[in-house]
A and B are shown apart, each in its own frame.
Chain A
Amino acid sequence: MTSQEIEYLPPTPGAMKSVFPHLDCLVDAIDALKQAGYTNMVVTAPLPRHEIEEQLYDGRPSPIRWFTLCGALFGGSMGFSVASLTHTNWPMIIPAGKPLVSIPAFIVITFESTILFGSLFTLAGLLLMCGLPSHGLQSEVRDPRFSDDVFGLVVNGLAQADAQRVRNILNDNGAAEVTGLESNNG
């Protein structure tokens, strides 16, 4: 951490940040917080872990798939339409009964457009759902250690009265560091 520039940003009101060096502790802490009724939390990790996703989203799939489906359908129909309509718009009548709108000949354009627009819509969906590009995330998640070797758990929307209880839950479940909501704590 010596060469890192840690930017100073004011703490978010009502947020408590904790650092977990162990994955199982983090998962236990999320579970304990949920059971205590604290569900407004953000978890940061240097890698994707299914345990975290399971705890927070209960196996609900990401809606990204709808973007993908819409993009692929749009691309495929647009590719075929462009190829067909341009051929009918300027018809070249070729002897031997060759059709103007030829399905085999337009398959490649249709296929490529399906893939292209499916991917572009998926990209748009990803950026939209993740809120990217975003440089305004709360200061608690902007810790350089979270892209390296530890996990972060930030509980948001806490009242001062809840602070000690949440802090205890985090500490009891193996948090290496808990910060936030100290100023009015006494």
Chain B
Amino acid sequence: MKGLTYGAVTRDILEPLFKPSAAYVGLLGFCVALLAWGGYCWFLQLTMGLGVGGYAPPVFWGVYITTFVFWVGIGHAGTLISAILFLFRSKWRTGVYRASEAMTIFAVMSAALFPAIHVGRAWNAYWLFPYPNQRQLWQNFKSPLMWDVFAVSTYFTVSTIFFYIGLIPDIAAVRDRTTGTIRKIYDALALGWRGTDRQWRHYMAAYGFFAAFATPLVLSVHSVVSWDFAMAQTAGWHSTLFPPYFVAGAIFSGCAMVITLLLPMSLIFKWEKYINVWHYESLAKMCLLTGTILTYAYGVEHYIAWYSDNPYEWGIFVYRAVGEEYGWVFYMMVFCNCLAPLIWWIPSMRRNLVVLFVVSIIINIGMWFERYNIIASSLAHQFDPASWTYYAPSWVELGIMVGSFGWFGMWFVMFIKIMPSVAVAEIKELIRPPLKSDQVAAK
């Protein structure tokens, strides 16, 4: 950051706002088209019933729950980077945390679609929230599904507050560089922020508390999501290994998604000064660490299944690995999550932008397949062989999944044009402040 001034930072980061190129409009249009396709598929399901979603007894959790867990997992990196790395005073977080936080919010918004889609009668999805009905009957707070509602909604609320609070000084900076109606909108969004000593004092105290609250949330959310599975008496799911295994997987996929999104963004916006190979390499190292934990977890769950001497438990792991139906899913998962990232152990490979981009996409494909592998195979082969079946996603399910990528992409693409995707005020904190004593010394 040598040679940068406060003014240059403001100019560089706010420069790409509000000027959509044809390619940008095309990308946004592509995302909206995917979303429209997903919307059409959901409309079909709402009018024709869950049968078009490929559900058949005994498999009632499929692509929707897989994609729900996938998006919640993606949503982990943003708050990890913004909160945990903030508390550790990690300098590389500053360039990437804003876009990662935005990614988190939009990923959780994408995840939030799926419980409503999955229950079929989406208009009754509010039954998930705790309120007494006409018979004064409340939800069962001992149910892991209820825990999940609390965990995901708390995570979304706290992450959104944290994100918005972080944005306020930068929205004020945008306001001060715009005119007319746009200025009025940003003024309202900045809540009248002026960066006074009183405002900064309370702001920094509150920011620390938000980070402290968000930190255990990052670790707890996917633990709670994993209990959706682990608390059930289903072979392949009922394991105490699940919380750390899921949390590692979530951070793994989230960091990979940050690379996927930020790499092209920083190149297009010419932000190499603020987001560069140092950041990608740090993210790749996070992926290496969490990917190694994940690989270890894959090994341990197979070992526990074998060592437990429980035929149902061991049976499902054998079925996953060598079964006709889901074997390819298992090997896809192993290749994408365990083998492909190994290339990043070579320093030059984790500094190569093409390799970074390609491997980050491979990881996310692998993480979707991991959840599919866990969910579909366990439900298709439960305790009673007479009920064994094969579940394959229908085109409607896949259409809705693709639509969720459009939904996510649409929000992210819109965000990067209307809000600073790099934290202006925090980048300035990394620069040596302008000092008269420096000027005197230079003379």
Give the interface of A toward B (CB within 8 A): 3-5, 21-25, 42-49, 52-53, 56-57, 61-62, 64-65, 68, 82-83, 86-87, 89-90, 102, 105-106, 108-109, 111-113, 115-116, 118-120, 122-123, 125-127, 129-137, 141-142, 144, 146-149, 174
**B202 touching A126 by the CB < 8 A rule?**
yes
**A5 touching B183 by the CB < 8 A rule?**
yes
B5 close to A (CB within 8 Å): yes
What are 13 of the A-B contact pairs (CB < 8 Å)? A22-B434, A44-B196, A52-B200, A89-B138, A106-B141, A116-B158, A119-B213, A123-B206, A126-B206, A132-B192, A136-B192, A137-B192, A144-B177
Given contacts A24-B435, A45-B195, A90-B136, 17 further A-B contacts (CB under 8 A): A3-B179, A22-B435, A45-B200, A48-B429, A86-B132, A89-B138, A108-B227, A115-B158, A116-B158, A118-B209, A120-B157, A122-B210, A123-B165, A130-B199, A130-B203, A131-B198, A137-B192
| Contact A141-B435, Cβ < 8 Å, known A61-B205, A89-B138, A115-B158 | no
Is chain B's binding surface mostly helix, strand, loop or mixed?
A: helix
Name the CB-closest residue of A to B195: A44
**A112 touching B209 by the CB < 8 A rule?**
no
Q: Choose one: B198, B433, B436; the contact of A49 (CB below 8 Å).
A: B433
**A132 touching B199 by the CB < 8 A rule?**
yes
Q: Which residues of A contact B6 (CB under 8 A)?
A: 46-47, 148-149
Q: Choose one: B141, B169, B192, B197; the contact of A109 (CB below 8 Å).
A: B141
**A23 touching B434 by the CB < 8 A rule?**
yes
| Contact A147-B176, Cβ < 8 Å, known A64-B205, A135-B192, A137-B192 | yes
User: How far is the CB of B213 from the nearest CB of chain A, in Å?
Assistant: 5
**A132 touching B193 by the CB < 8 A rule?**
yes
Name the CB-closest residue of A to B191: A133
**A148 touching B173 by the CB < 8 A rule?**
yes
* Interface-facing stretch out of B146-154, B282-290, B336-344, B381-389: B146-154
Q: Which residues of B contact A64 (CB under 8 A)?
A: 202, 205-206, 209
**A146 touching B7 by the CB < 8 A rule?**
no
**B429 touching A47 by the CB < 8 A rule?**
yes
Produce 1/0 per residue, B127-144, CB < 8 A to A. Answer: 000101000111101100
User: How far is the CB of A117 from the nearest CB of chain B, in Å?
Assistant: 10
Q: Choose one: B10, B204, B210; the contact of A149 (CB below 8 Å).
A: B10
* Interface-facing stretch out of B20-28, B36-44, B104-112, B216-224: B216-224
B437 close to A (CB within 8 Å): yes
Q: Choose one: A87, A89, A106, A146; the contact of B136 (CB below 8 Å).
A: A89
Q: Which 8 pairs from chain A and chain B are nearest by CB?
A: A144-B176, A62-B205, A133-B191, A149-B7, A149-B6, A83-B141, A86-B138, A126-B206
